[in-house]
Chains A and B, each alone.
Chain A
Amino acid sequence: MNTKPKKNSHIYWNPYFGGFLLGIIIIFTFLLTGRGLGASGAMKSSVVTIVDKVAPTHAENNAYYSQFVKEDDTPMNTWLVFEALGVLIGAFISGSLSGRIRWRVQHSPKISSRRRLLFALGGGILFGLGAQIARGCTSGAALSGMAVLSSGGFITMLAIFGTAYAFAYFFRKNWI
Chain B
Amino acid sequence: MEFLISTSIIPEQWDSIIAICIGIAFGFVLESSGFSSSRKMAGVFYGYDFAVLKVFFTAAVVAVIGIYYLDYLGYLDVTKLYIHPTYVWGAIIGGAIMGVGFIAGGFCPGTGLCGVAIGKLDAWVYVLGILIGIFIFSELYTVFEPIYNGYYLGNITLIDSFEWNPYWTIFIFSIIAVVAFVVADMVRKKIKKVFY
Contacts and interface: CB of A to CB of B under 8 A. Distances in A.
Contacts of B129: 120-128
A138 B109 contact: yes
Interface string B1-32: 11111000010000110111111111111111
Interface residues of B, number: 129
Interface string B28-46: 1111111011111011011
A85 B145 contact: no
B175 interface: no
B157 A151 contact: yes
A73 to B, nearest CB: 13
B75 to A, nearest CB: 7
A68 B110 CA distance: 21
A128 B134 contact: yes
Q: Main SS of chain B's interface residues?
A: helix
Contact of A82 (B23, B60, B118, B147): B23
Contacts of A100: 31, 36, 118
A18 B109 CA distance: 18
Interface in A18-51: 18-37, 39-40, 43-44, 46-48, 50-51
B59 interface: yes
A71 B30 CA distance: 35
B99 A141 contact: no
B98 A159 contact: yes
A96 B124 CA distance: 18
Interface in B66-92: 66-67, 70, 75-76, 78, 80-88, 90-92
